[in-house]
Structure 1
C-alpha cells in the first residue's frame, strides 16, 4: 500500500490501532515516550497478533509480514511523511496537547487525529497551529475487531480533513460515523452513566457483581456486564473519562462513584493488571 500511518502512545488503544492498520496493509510507526514504553508496545502488538492467530483471523505467516512494516521508536522524527498521525495517549488534556504539538512539529501537512474518548476536539485544536487539519477519530477496544470509529470535527476542522478521516477509516475496514463535538461524544455519553450506576448498585449491595452483570447480559442482551466491561476498559480509563465529561458538563450522572475512585487509588485497575471488580 505504501502509505505510512503513525500512532503515538503504545498502550492498549495505540497498539490496537496500529495493528488494525498493519492488517490493512499500511506501514506503521508506533511511538512511545521512552525506549521502555516502545518495547512494551511491541510486546503488546505481538500479543495482539497472537490472539488474532488463535482466533483464526490471522495466520502465523502474517506476523512477520506485519512486523516487517512496523517501526517502534521513541523518536518523533520517525513520523515525518506520515499520511495520518493518531494520538492515543492517556485521557489527560495537558498530555494530549503536549503530544499533539510534537506531532504538528514533525508531521507538517499530515492529517493529525486524536483518539480521545471524551475531550472536546475544538478545545484541543485551540492549542494547535493548524486546527483545520485536526480531527477526532475515536476507535473502540479491541480495535482490530470493533468496527465503528466516531469521527468528530472541531469548529475549524476542514472538509478535506473530514474526508481523509473517513477514507482512512474505511481503508482500515472500519465504519466511520460522524459525531458532534460533545463531551463523551455518543458512546461514552451513554456508557459512562451506565457504568456509574452499576458501581453504585454494587456499593449499595443491591446485588453482587456477578448478579449485576448477569442481569445486564441476560436481560438487556449485552455481550458483557457493566462491571466486567469496566475491568476490560480499565478502571483508571473509566475514571479519566468520567472526570473529563463531568468537568465539561457538570452533570451529576457523570460524577465518578466513590468506589471507582477508591479502586483506582488502590491500583485495582482491571483486567490489565489482574484485579479490578474481578480477579483475573
Structure 2
C-alpha cells in the first residue's frame, strides 16, 4: 500500500482537497489538469492545506507527506494504481475524461469518480471495464472531513470495492457504501435543502444569516446550508442540482433563481471571494 501511486484528474476545489488528504497520508500523487495556472494554484493550496491539517490535528502526527507531482499530460495516469476523477459535475466532461483514463490504465485499476450525483451505472457506459468503476463523494474540505460516501454501481466488482475501502482506511477515512441512484444519499438530501434555503432568502422570509443561524441552532446543521453552498461552490451546486433534476424530475432540484443569479454574477462562494457571504476581506 505504501507504494501505491494515486492519480487525481482535475485540480479544482475537490481535486485539490483530495490531493491534500492523500499526500498528507503519505502516499504519492500525480495531479492532472489541462491548465498550468490551475495546477500552480493547486500546488499552493495543497501546501497551505497540509499546514492547516497538521495544525488542527487532522493528519497523523509525524507522517512524512507523499510526493506531489503535477502534469498537463493525461497519459501520466497510466502508471497509477488508483485513479480518482474529480472534474466538474458535467456529464460530457466526465464522459470524456473517464473514457480516456480507462483506455490508459492497466486492467483492474480502480477508477473512482468523485461525483455528487451522476449514477455510476450511467458512467459505466463511458469506460472500458465497468467492473473497475466506483463512485466516491468526498466532502469539502476533504482533508478535514473524515466520512466518505462510497457508491457501488451494479457492475462494480467486489475487488474494486475492497481496494477502495482499503485505500480510504489507509488515508484515515471512514466509509459508508451505498447503492447507486441519482444523488445517492448526501446530495439527494443536502442539495435540495440548500436550494430551498435559497428560495426562502429570495422570497424575503429571512436573511442569509438568519437562515443559517436557525438551521445551526434549531436543527444542528454544522455550518448552515448557505455557508455550505459557498464551500461547495455555487456553480458546482447548480451543476449538481441540474444533474439531479434531469434524472429525477424533482422540482426541489430545479436550481433557484437566486443561485442562478449568483453564478451569472460570478459570486461562486469562497473560491471567488463572495457568494452568500463576503470572503474577500478575510482573504486580503
TM-score, scaled to structure 2: 0.93
Deviations 1:90-111 (A, max 9, x none): 0000101111122112212211
* Alignment gaps of 5+ in structure 2: 280-284
* 8 Å contact from structure 1 (residues 150, 176) kept in 2: yes
Q: 1:208 to 1:92 in 2, by over 3 A?
A: same
Which residue does the alignment assign to 1:22? 23
**Post-superposition offset of 1:224:** 0.6
In structure 1, the residue matched to 2:172 is: 173
CA distance in 2, matches of 1:58, 1:132: 32
* Offset of residue 7 of structure 1: 0.5
Conservation of the 8 A alpha-carbon contact between 1:22 and 1:69: yes
The structural deviation recorded for 1:152 is: 1.1
Equivalent position SS for 1:80: helix
Q: 1:116 to 1:252 in 2, by over 3 A?
A: same
Write the mapping of 1:242-253 to structure 2, written as runs, cut at 5 A.
242-253=241-252
Partner of 1:237: 236
8 Å CA contact 1:7–1:87 kept in 2: the answer is yes
8 A contact 2:58–2:144 mirrored in 1:
no
| Structure 2 partner of 1:162 | 161
SS of 2:145's equivalent in the other structure is coil
> Residues of 2 paired with 1:210 and 1:17: CA distance?
29
Matched, 1:51 2:52: yes
Structure 1 contact 32–41 (Cα < 8 Å) conserved: no
Residue matched to 1:214:
213
Q: Matched residue pairs, number?
A: 277
Query: What does residue range 188-207 of structure 1 map to in structure 2 within 5 Å?
Result: 188-207=187-206
Aligned residue number for residue 90 of structure 1: 88
**C-alpha separation in 2, matches of 1:21 and 1:57:** 12
Shift >6 Å, 4+ stretches: 59-62
Deviations 1:202-247 (A, max 9, x none): 0111111111111111111211111111111111011011111000
CA distance in 2, matches of 1:19, 1:152: 22
Q: After the TM superposition, which residues 132-151 of structure 1 pair with which residues of structure 2 at under 5 Å, given as runs?
A: 132-151=131-150
Superposed CA deviations along residues 144-175 of structure 1, whole A, max 9, x for unmatched, are 11122211122211111111111111111111
SS at match of 2:156: coil
Query: Does 2:31 correspond to 1:33?
Result: no
What runs of 5+ residues in structure 1 fail to find an aligned partner? none
CA distance in 1, matches of 2:58, 2:158: 35
Look up the match of 2:104.
106
Q: Output the TM-score relative to the length of structure 1.
A: 0.94
State the SS of the aligned residue for 1:152. strand
Q: Is the 1:135–1:157 Cα contact (8 Å) retained in structure 2? A: yes
C-alpha distance in structure 1 between counterparts of 2:149 and 2:60, whole Å: 29
8 A Cα contact 1:27 1:69, kept in partner:
yes
**1:59: Cα distance to partner?**
9.8
How far apart in 2 are the matches of 1:46 and 1:276? 25
| Contact 1:235 1:270 (8 Å CA) reproduced | yes
Quick one: distance in 2 between partners of 1:58 and 1:159?
29
SS in 1 for 2:229: helix
Q: How far off its partner does 1:61 sit? A: 8.4
Rounded to whole Å, the distance in 2 between the matches of 1:76 and 1:136 is 20
